[in-house]
Every structure is written in C-alpha cells, then in structure tokens.
Structure 1
Amino acid sequence: MAMVEAMDLPPVASAAMIEPGDHLMTGDALPSRKGRWEKFVSYVWDSDYYDKSDAERRLVFKLDIFMLSAMTLGWWLKNLDQTNLSNAYVSGMKEDLHIEANQYTYMNVIYNAVVCGMQIPSNFIAMKVRPSLFLALSEIGWGIFTFAQAGAHSYQAMYGFRFCIAFFESFYYPVAFFILGSWYTKQELAKRIGLWFIAGPAGSAFSGYMQAGIYRSMDGLHGLAGWRWLYIICGVIGIPIGFLLFFLVPDFPENSKVWYLSEAEKELAKARSARNGTAAMKGNINLKSVLLVFTTWHLFVLAPWYGIYGFAVQNGAQFAIYLKAFGYSVSRRNVMASGMYLIEIPCLLIYTAISDRMTRYSRAWVCLIPLLWGLFPTGVLAFWAPSNPLRVFGFMMTGSIYVTPVFYAWVAEICAHRTELRGFVTGATSCVFYCLNAWLPAIVFLQTDGPRFEKGFKTTFACCCVSAAGVIVIWFFHRRDLRQRALEAQEGSNSSGVYGKEHHHDVESKI
C-alpha cells in the first residue's frame, strides 16, 4: 500500500526515469558518503540531504538564504500588521475612535471580504507578472496604508484603510505558497513552508509585545496615543522589505532572472522540478485547463476542507477580548495573547519535520492527529469550562492545532502534475477560508456576545470535528488517484517501455 501511495507520474518522459539519488550535472554531481554526522543531518533536516550532489545542496542553500528569508520577512510583517488591529483595539483605539457595538467586527469582515475576492486571481497574475515585482509592490502598498491608519479619527476611516490594506495583502498568501511549491521537492517543502509560516505567529506575537512596550513608553509621546505609534512603526518597516522582495524572490525556475543563481543552477532547478513531478510553469494560461479544474475532486474537496479547518482555529482571535473582559491589564492582555502564538511555533516545526519524512506514506496523518487533539481545547471553550485557568489554557492551545504548512505541502504534492490545477486550487483554498471569514464571524462572534461567544466557540468545535473527518476523505481521493496513475503508468510501460508524451497527456486529461 505504501509503495502504491508513494508513486506519482512525472510530467515529462525524461524525468520519469530519474530517481531522487540521480544527478544531472557533472564534476561535483556525486552524492556524499554518509557517516554518523551525515546520517544525523539527514534525520533532522532533509532526509535526502546527503543523497544530493554538492551542486544541488548549494542551490537549495541559496534558495533558503535568499528566497525563503525574504519571503519569511514579508510574511512576518503581514501578520504583524494584521494582528495590530486587535492589539490597537484593546489598547485605546476603541475609546479614541468611539467604536461601538459590532463596528470592530465589521472591520474584520471588510478585510476578509476583500482578501477573499483576490485569492484566485493572485496566482494567475503571478503567472503573467513576475512574482518578484508583484509581491514587492504589494508589500509597499500595504506598508503605506498601515502607516496611514495612525491618522484615523473615526471608525469609518478605519473601514477604508482596512479595505486598502486587504487589497494589497491579499496577494501574498497564495503567491508565496505557489512559488515555494515550484522550487522545493517533496522531501524539502513542508519544512520550508513551516519555517516561512511560523513568521506569522512570530509576527502576531511580536505585535503584542510591541504594543505592550509602546503603551508603556510611547503612549502620549508628541501627543499621539500608543496605538497610533504602533501603526507608524509598522508602516515604516514595510517599505524596505518590499524592495528586498524585488531583489531576492527568484520568480519561477522557468523564467528566473535572479542575480544569485547561475544559469547552470537554473537548469538544475528545472530538472529538480521535473524529477519531483512538478509541471513546468509556461507563462501562459490555458483556459481549457482551467475549466478542467471544475471537473476534478480537488477543487470541491480541498478548498471546502481548508475553509472549515481555518475556522476551527479561530478561537485565538477572541483571546485578547476575553482577557480585557476579565480585568487583565493592558500589558498582560497583549503579552498573554502573544503566548498563544509562541506555542504555535514549535508545534509547526515538529509537524512539518515529521511530514517531510512521511512523503513515502502520506501527510494525512500529520494533519489528522493535531486536529483530533484540537477537540479538547476547542471543547473547553465550546462547553465553557467553569475554571478561568482552564479557559485560558483552551485559548493558548489554539496554536497547537495549526497544520496549514503541512496541508499546503500536501496540496502541492497532490496537484503537482498540472500547473493550472496547483495555482487554482492553492488560491481557491484560501479564497474559501476568507469567504467564510467575511460573514461567519459577524454571525457567531458578535462582540455583543463576548466574552462567552457561545455560538462562536461551538461553531469552531464543530468545524474541528468536521475537518478531522475531512482529512480521511482527502486521503481516500488522493490514494485513488495514485492507484489510477500507477496503473496507467504500468500499462504504458508495458506497451512502450517508457512514459511517452502521448501517454502522459492522456493521464493528465483524466486526472
């Protein structure tokens, strides 16, 4: 069973005959010998690290140092800016702007609605416009409007600023996943997505600590409230990171012009993608291929699953409001809410490391187990445990339920054989998530229902139950695809001895 599930049809005939230990360059192309240290490194990092040639290891190292680092900084800032709203709200913005009833909830609804609408177009734009330029302009745009929030004098102004910030931030999430999935192999991808993704909770946590520090030291400085200084500082940080993205994001292996990769390394990157079974990015959008997405299970299973799972981990957004309602100080509200994100970081690192070592089997189990555990912390809040420390524990453990990096690595693996499918499904999954977030919180997480939020917490508990069951459904469909493609590959091999182009085209049209 494991061998069948591990099989995958590559996109070109030459790649089909290449195994992970094969190398396409001469000179330094021989893999290293494995001693105890080498085996240890292979165990804690990439399982095939010492099966790679020196040239391939140098390529991956450059991608980690330049591409991954730059995109991680951008993601860190995005989450820093996104969390600023809740931290500013509980640190004086509510009173200064006279925010009442559900006006704060509507600010989040506006943000999610705009982001939702731009998720699917994002990856198709990135296929036509260089992602390095696209992401750089997006980063600079949201930096400008983050800065502008410091001048808001009404909740209506915040509505407008949240709209503009959402528009520019909306591109980053799906495009980043799309790019990472184009450069890294199955044995590398989840860990890199995990390292990139933990910048999110790190940014969210840093926002809380930053706001606590600003409130203590800068509140009232030059006549400005502390929450306004938070927006000023974050806006100033965003501009240089935008320029960094422009110079360090390498676009795709097929069209990269980045300065730190040689022509030989770009060719090696293309060969790695072929070996990994990742279809080449040709720069053109085939309408027929896009429409074909609507005839597959991928769109109608993967996208709804992520929307449901995404809402299952929403309890943490209400933590600061809970702490305020129970009389915690401004500093403790920000610091304790940030602790939830610090728990998320080691959990993500552990989940993604295990996931990359299970590519021979399935990433499904690394998604399923945390979600089964998540029934406890979400249940604590859904049924409102009588103990305040236990409820705080329930909020804190929200960070241990996140499996997003593992899921997106799984999506890249499931959809690797078709670029349009991978781009569309990656955008659609986050689109469904933001679509739900655009209206569902306004119904189940009304601020007038806080801090109990009975409807909201019971909804997240139900979503956790459904998403755990949904992992099994995805695993079943993926296993069926692998069996079908393996059978067709065997039939093609029997008839021709190799994976011909006509055979591959036939398989691709059926999947």
Structure 2
Amino acid sequence: MSQDSQAFISANVVTSDTTDTQQLKAVNNSTLSVWQRLVVTVWDSDHYAKTSEERVLVRKLDCTLLICLAFGYFMKNIDQGNLSNAYVSGLQVDLNITGNQYTYMGTIYNVVYCVMQVPSNLIVLKVRPSWWLAGCEIGWTIFTFAQAGAQTYQHMYVFRFFIGFFEASFQSLAFYVLGSWYTKSELAKRTSIFYIASPLGQAFASYAMAAVYTSMDRLAGLAGWRWLYIICGIMSAPVAVSVFFLVPDFPETTKAWYLTEQEKEIGRLRAARNGTVFMTGIVNFSTFKKIVSQWRFWTLLPAYLFYATGVQSYNYFGVYLRSAGYSVAMRNILPGCAFVLQIPLALLYGYIADKTGSRFLVCFVPMVLMLFPTIVLAVWPDDNTLRVTAFMLAACFFITHIFFTWVNEIAHASMEERGFLIAACQCFFYAFNAFLPAIVFRQTDGPTFRKGFPTVLGANILACIAFVTIYILHQRQLRQEAAQSHAEEARDQEQSPISGKDDDKDALEKVTILRV
C-alpha cells in the first residue's frame, strides 16, 4: 500500500467501532435534507456516515458489478425457460421428440449443473472471476446459438450438457463476489436486485416466445423456436463481454480499470472492516477437512435443502389449473402473476434485512408464513378458491438471496469456506431435486399429489427449525469472535504503549492481500 493511500484512508475512512459510532451519531444529530432522509430510509442507512470517496466507490460497484451480474442472471433464466417454451412451440414436432427424451434433456442439464457448483467457486480462487464468468457466458452463448440449429434430440442432449456446464457458475459465484465487496448494511438489498432477475427472466422468456412465434415463425424458413434461440444468443453476447470488463474480481485481486488505486485500497479496507477475510490461495485436503469439521457445514447445507424443497409447491400450479379446467390463457396468466408478486417481495425482504440487520428474521418469518399455503395443499380442501390462493402464496416466500447473504456473513472468517458453502448448498439441493420429485410428485398422482405436498410441508417445518438452530449457533460464534477480538486488543495494548494511530494499517496487514 502506498503511503499516500495509507494516509488518505487513515484520515478519511471509518475503521474502528468507536469511530463508526461517533460518525453515525454525528449524522443522526445533523440536519438532513428531505432527499438525504429519503436516501437513508430507503437505501443505505449509513450512506452519509461514509466519506464521499467511499460513496463514489459504492456507486461505481452498483453501476458496474451489480447491474452486470443482474443482466447475466437475467439471460441465464431466460435460457432456462426457453427449453420448455420451445418444446410446446414446435421443437417437439420438428425434432420428433417422444417418450422421456424431453425429460432427459432437463435431467442432463440438472446433473451437470449440480456437479459443477463447487468446482466453479473453487476455480475462481485461482482464476480471476471476471475471466471465468465471461468465459462461461460466452460458452453458453455459443451453445444457445447451437440449439437453434439442432436437428435431432441427440443434438439437444449434447447442447444441454454444455449449457448446464457453463451456466452452473453464475448464481453461486455472483453471491460470492457480491458478498466480497458489499458491507452488512448494503448486501441484502444488492442481492435482492440481483435475484429479481430470475422471475423477470422467466416472465420475459414466456412473453418473448409468444411474440417470436406470432411474428417470426417460418421467417426465412426457420421455425419460431429456432428464432428464439438466435435472438437470445444475440442478447447474451454483449452481456458476456460486459462481464469481462465490468466485474472487478475480488477486493484483494482487483485490476478493474474503472477503479482508482485509492478506491481499490478503500475496497480492501471495507472488506477488512466488515470482517471479510481475504483468500489464502491454499486449497487442499486440509482445507476441506477443516470446513466439514465446522457446524456451519452440517447446518447450512440441510437448511438450504429444507428451504428450497419447502417452496416447490408453486411448480405444480399449472398442473392443477389444467386439471381444474382453466383456459390455456389462464394457465399462463395466473402463474405469471405469482412470478410478478415475487419481484416487490424480494426487494422488500432485502430492504428489511438491511434495515434491521437481521438475516434470521427475514428467513424465518417467510417460512412460518409459508406454512399456511403448504398446509392447505397438503390437506387439499374441497375449495377451488382456497387452493388457487395457496398456489399463488406459495410463490411469495422465496428468500434465497437473503439466505446466501446470511451465509456470506456467517462464513466471513474464511474466503475458501465461504465460497465452498455457497456452492455446496446449491449442489446439495440439486442432488436431491434430481430424484425426489420423481418419487413424490409423480404425474399420475396429480393434481392432489398426496405424497408431494405433505413432503413439502415437512421440509417447510424442518427449514424453520434449521433456521432457529443456525441463529443460535451463529450468535454463539459472534460471542466467541467478540471475546477473541477483545483479548487481542488487550494483548496489543500491553505490548505497545501507543495504540490507535496505526489502526488502518493493522486492519489490512491482518489479512493476506494477493496481488495477481
């Protein structure tokens, strides 16, 4: 670190708990304009406790990292929705798909997606995330174009394999990178903005297929579903390029062209101040042995499995609507409305999580509320309105983004563990989801699914218990960390009669900064 940068940080950036409190009090006691009060209320509560230089850094991250990842996730979800949309819009007939061949396309994708979760998050400990993510998005863009030229179902098997391989990295790695740059008062809102790209992408895929099929089917001799893949490939290409130039990697390795050296130093200091430990660069058997010996591994993975399984009821809304005699239009409109509801609710969850600082409550309360629709569907009352309401509500309690915000904070003491746990949670769920629906949600059991909905209810209850368990263990961890920190401060004060003037330097020297 240069002396000029060190002097700047020491003079301008809040680094200790005492200074944080003093500056926050100064802001609270000052007279803020109406706009400033709005910013503090709606956006970051500590916005004006930051220096102007730090606010510029956060603004740059919002306009580059956050928006870039959100668009990439948007394209990923469009592609996930494209297969089912293409299937019912001509792909089945054109490729003569019969029997379980369509199901196998989805299975191939899910298996590869599951297997690649953990390796992808470990690869970026050695390879810059901007390179890996950009390469992956270029890869799935190529195979998106390739699907437009598929002539047999075997071609689609191959293409879906590579699509799953390249798309597997995106969600887990995005949560990982966001958790490395943003602080506790900022992170949940940003992950919410990133996460709403999922329902937006799914909704856009449906509307795009309808529009393309209506206006472009047989244009230049190509079927509408082939044009859909071509258009999506064209949309994905510039996003892939933007990832390479706009994702700033990790704070300790960043070479982002749009960040000044001063801003890079502030980014590293923010991470250190947030308690986020930088990477060691060491990934071996001992690393995994240490991870699996911690309570975090044995609670976070099953908690995510229970949660993700406990919100699966909405997937069978369309099956019910068809069996209940609803029109084709209503079979699309009603589930679409449920997806639309997810968007403001996801943003609200992020706002509350950052405003209160409690990730636990924003995970636990929606799961408790989720008990109502899951109980209704498990009991299956003879009331169509109640059943439709239950399906609609079942799509309103997705807290995936808040859960991974919580994981980022719980595992802050090891970058390798944090990356592994984020990916392993997803891998664990996909591994179960590859076979569980085939057992409890058999199509011959629809629409009541007498095994499926009770299973979802059981998972929902277990998720509530798991969240409480994680909260108790996390509170114990925080007490232990606080006691250790106080012990270290007392020891440092005994060794040095003069303390405090090198706080900023020590904050950065206590972590390993890799220059790549």
Q: TM-score, normalised by structure 1?
A: 0.87
Give the superposition deviation at 1:477. 0.9
What amino acid does structure 2 have at the position aligned with 1:65? C
**Offset of 1:495 from its aligned partner?**
4.1
AA matched with 2:453: F
Q: Which residue of 2 is the match for residue 9 of structure 1?
A: none
1:176 aligned to which of 168, 171, 174: 174
Report the AA paired with residue 490 of structure 1: H
Contact 1:90–1:330, Cα closer than 8 Å, also in 2 = no
Cα distance between partner residues in 1 of 2:445 and 2:97:
16
CA-to-partner distance for each residue in 1:122-145, whole Å, 9 max, x for gaps?
111111111111111111111222
> Structure 2: any 5+ residue segments left out of the alignment?
1-13, 497-502, 512-516
- Would the alpha carbon gap of residues 376 and 41 (structure 1) be closer, same or farther in structure 2, given more than 3 Å must change? same
Q: Which gives a bigger RCO, structure 1 or 2 (Cα 8 Å, sep 6+)? A: 1
Per the alignment, do residues 398 and 86 of structure 1 end up closer, same or farther by CA in structure 2, a change over 3 Å counting?
farther
Does structure 1 conserve the Cα–Cα contact (< 8 Å) formed by 2:368 and 2:464?
yes
2:83 is aligned with 1:88 = no
Distance in 2 (alpha carbons) for counterparts of 1:94 and 1:389 = 34
What is residue 76 of structure 2 aligned with on the other side?
A: 78
Q: Structure 1 residues 387, 101: closer, same or farther in 2, change over 3 A?
A: farther
Which residue type is aligned with residue 340 of structure 1?
A
1:352 Cα shift?
0.7
| Secondary structure of 2:185's aligned partner | helix
Partner of 2:48: 50
* Counterpart position of 2:207: 209
Amino acid at match of 2:429: F
Q: What is the CA distance between 1:392 and its match in structure 2?
A: 3.1
Q: 1:407 aligns with which of 403, 406, 412?
A: 403
Moved more, 479-488 or 223-232: 223-232
The alpha-carbon deviation at position 31 of structure 1 amounts to 7.2
Q: CA deviation at 1:330?
A: 4.9
> 360, 365, 385: which is aligned to 1:369?
365
Which position in structure 1 is the counterpart of 2:244? 246
1:257 shift after superposition: 1.1
Q: Which ranges of structure 1 fall in alignment gaps of 5 or more residues? A: 1-13, 24-29
Whole-Å separation in 1 of the counterparts to 2:177 and 2:17: 25
**Counterparts of 1:90 and 1:126, CA distance in 2:** 38
Aligned amino acid, residue 71 of structure 1: L
1:16-55 maps to which residues of 2 (within 5 A)? 19-20=19-20, 33-37=30-34, 38-55=36-53
- 2:254 counterpart residue number: 256
> Once superposed, what is the RMSD of the aligned Cα atoms?
2.8
Alignment of 1:72-471 (within 5 A): 72-100=70-98, 102-285=100-283, 287-326=285-324, 328=326, 330-359=328-357, 362-471=358-467
Check 1:378–1:84 CA distance in 2 against 1; reply closer, same or farther (3 A cut).
farther
Assess if the C-alpha contact under 8 Å between 2:279 and 2:414 holds in 1: no
Q: Structure 2: how far apart are the matches of 1:499 and 1:375?
A: 56
Q: Residue 35 of structure 1 aligns to which amino acid in structure 2?
A: L
| Aligned-partner Cα distance in 1 for 2:184–2:249 | 19
Task: Name which of structure 1's ranges 421-430 and 332-341 shifts more when overlaid on structure 2.
Answer: 332-341
- Structure 2: distance between partners of 1:213 and 1:171: 30
Mean CA deviation greater in 167-176 or 324-333: 324-333
Residues 377 and 148 of structure 1, relative CA distance in 2, 3 Å threshold: farther
Q: Which moved more, 1:339-348 or 1:485-494?
A: 485-494
Amino acid at match of 1:419: M
1:460 and 1:358 map into 2 onto residues whose CA distance is 29
Sequence identity (%): 47
Aligned residues: 483
Aligned partner of 1:376: which letter? F
Max radius of gyration: which structure? 2
In structure 2, C-alpha distance between the alignment counterparts of 1:52 and 1:286, rounded to whole Å:
39
